[in-house]
Amino acid sequence: MLCGWFSYVTIEEQSPTNSAAAERLAKRAGDALPKNANVIVLARQGGEGELFTKILAEQLTKVDASVVSTIIGQPADARKALTEFGKTGQNLDGIIADKHMANFASANLKQLSQAHTGLTNARIFQPKSYRWPNFLKKENLLNVMKQISVVAIIAIGMTMVIITAGIDLSVGSLIAFSGVITALAIQALGGDAPTTSHLWLGAMAGILVCSLAGLFTGGLVTLFGIPAFIATLGIMFIAKGLAFIFSDSSPVPVANESFGWLGRGRDFFGLPNSVILMFILYSMAHVLMTRTSIGRYIYAVGGNSEAARLSGVPVKWVLAFVYTLTGLLAGLGGVMEASLHITGDPKSGDLVELKVIAAVVVGGTSLAGGQGRIMGTFIGAFIIAVINNGMNLTGVESHMQKVIYGAVILIAVLIDRLKIHLLKLNKA
């Protein structure tokens, strides 16, 4: 329903700039222009502009057009290119451009041709437009998945924690801590020229440190009986503070662009590597929770920990496992964030714990414990991502977005409480 609504409200006229559109545009211009026609290719900087102009130039050459200039930039660059060609005294036959540059040329060509008569008869060609939702653009859908991947991955561990009737508020700070530790480890190992092995070792260091933090949290909860809310609140402040202390309150750069492989790379079918990792981890977590004894133990501890203990379930080990796993996944999320920016930033991860908890709750996991599904969390994470993306596309103001987020969480919790109440009535 959300996807349908945002698709409807974001329908706009689209002007394609992909390779297929470039080939069609070059053929149409070649058919309309004489042989050896002088043409200028224009495209706005960013997006697919570079590929668009490259294919246009190649295809126009094949249809015997003479590409005198190829410009990727802003309207000022287009004006300069047209003016310089006009000064040559030659006739310009065509301007082949994307929608943005074509609109600029249409609005300014008459004025320019008054000073340079060679531009007078230039014809403007642009891709044929069509109506399509901005929400359903391929790049937007990939961005939705990419933006939610870190939250969704950490939500796997949070789901298990909440099923055991616990909570973990430290995951956002652990993201920052992991990113800083990873970047510092890479610097310590590789200096100004880290190798791939240094990148891997640094990432493992960040993940290991956060795993130990999760294990420590599990120990506080199981051995000392400290409520999870308080234990993870303390770890949250400690991890955030250490991230700023170790980094001297400044981002820690990684001097190897290959570090961006996980956060920026696309190696499989055009999907971001972070999204591929998310799918793999959710598949593994689903099997863990539905086909293994540890999954059954997690549900048993959340349903009634005392009854589970009397039944032989190692309750303390189960709790230690879920908090350690959540710390490990938060550490992995920190590596992913650092990989995305090729920097370990102590400011990263702010309020991520709230998004993670929201994804778990919206996905149907009960805060009372004992109920929840990994795939439900997967859907919940995408609901949060779609709401966020849709609000951005429709221009919803940032403060109002927070109001809507809060309303979504409250509605999800109210639905959960109503379900519990109805179950009690049915049993009665």
Question: Which CATH number does the domain housing residue 53 bear?
Answer: 3.40.50.2300
Please give the average per-residue pLDDT across 349-373, as a whole number: 89
Q: How many domains does the chain have?
A: 2
pLDDT recorded at residue 218: 96
Q: Which of these three, 100, 131, 162, is where a domain ends?
A: 131
3 within domain boundaries: no
In a domain, 10, yes or no: no
User: Do residues 98 and 126 share a domain?
Assistant: yes
Distance of alpha carbon 395 from alpha carbon 377, whole angstroms: 27
Positions of E strands within 235-325: 252-253
Distance, CA of 397 to chain centre: 20
Average pLDDT on 360-377 reads 90
Q: What percent of the chain has pLDDT over 70?
A: 100
Highest mean pLDDT of the ranges 83-97, 124-138, 333-347, 402-416: 333-347
**151/48 same-domain check:** no
Do residue 25 and residue 150 come from a single domain?
no
Residues 37 and 154 both lie in one domain: no
pLDDT for residue 294 is more than 70? yes
Could you tell me the residue range of the domain that residue 47 belongs to?
Answer: 15-131
Average pLDDT over the chain reads 91
Please determine, for residue 267, whether its predicted confidence score (pLDDT) is greater than 80: no
Q: What mean pLDDT comes out for the span 215-237?
A: 95
Residues 266 and 234 in one domain: yes
pLDDT at residue 129 tops 90: no
Residue 207 pLDDT greater than 90, yes or no? yes
Could you read off the pLDDT of 309-332 as tens digits, one per residue? 999 999 999 999 999 999 999 999
Same domain, 304 and 378: yes
Q: Is the pLDDT at 107 greater than 80, yes or no? A: yes
> What's the pTM?
0.85
CA 421 to each of CA 357, 370, 417, 426: distance values in angstroms, whole numbers, following the listed order: 22, 15, 6, 9
Instruction: Specify whether 302 is located in the same domain as 398.
Output: yes
- State the CATH number of the domain containing residue 295: 1.10.3470
Q: Which residues of 347-360 are buried (b: 16+ CB within 10 A; e: fewer)?
A: ebbeebbbbbbbbb
pLDDT tops 70 at residue 428: no
Mean pLDDT of 257-278: 89
* Residue pointed to by tokens 């990727």: 72
Cα–Cα–Cα angle for 140, 331, 148, nearest 5°?
15
Identify whether residues 102 and 144 lie together within a single domain. no
pLDDT at 241: 96
Query: Rounded to a whole number, what is the distance in angstroms from the first to the last CA of the chain?
Result: 35
Whether residues 81 and 176 share a domain: the answer is no
Amino acid at residue number 280: I
Q: For the chain, what is the radius of gyration of the CA atoms?
A: 28
In a domain, 219, yes or no: yes
Confidence at residue 248, expressed as pLDDT on a 0 to 100 scale:
94
Q: Confirm whether 2 is domain-assigned.
A: no
Determine the Cα–Cα distance for residues 393 and 403; give it in Å rounded to an integer.
17
72: phi then psi, degrees, rounded to nearest 5: -120, 110
Residue 110: inside a domain, yes or no?
yes
Domain boundary at 114, 131, 148, which?
Answer: 131
Please give the average per-residue pLDDT across 408-416, as a whole number.
81
In a domain, 168, yes or no: yes
Encoded tokens for 289 = 């929770």
Spatial separation of the C-alpha atoms in residues 372 and 378, rounded to whole Å: 11
Q: Is the pLDDT of residue 302 over 90?
A: yes
HSE, CB side, 13 Å, CA atoms: give it for residue 20. 3
Please check whether residues 122 and 224 belong to one and the same domain.
no
In a domain, 210, yes or no: yes
Residue 424 has pLDDT above 80, yes or no: no
The pLDDT score that the predictor gives to residue 214 is 97
- What's the confidence (pLDDT) of residue 269? 78
User: Are 106 and 146 in the same domain?
Assistant: no
235 has a pLDDT exceeding 80 = yes
Q: 96, 31 in Cβ contact below 8 A? A: no
Residue labelled with tokens 């992991």: 178
Query: What mean pLDDT comes out for the span 3-18?
Result: 88
Q: Looking at the structure, do residues 107 and 202 belong to the same domain, yes or no?
A: no
**At which of 116, 131, 146 does a domain end?**
131
The set of residues, in sequence order, having a beta carbon less than 8 Å from that of 297 and lying 6+ positions away, is: 308, 313, 314, 318
> In the prediction, which pLDDT does 398 show?
82
Least-confidence region, from 168-177, 194-203, 390-399: 390-399
- Answer whether 154's CB lies under 8 Å from 323's CB: no
7, part of any domain: no
CB neighbour list of residue 68: distance below 8 Å, 6 or more residues apart: 38, 39, 40, 85, 90, 92
Phi, psi of 344 (to 5 degrees): -90, 110
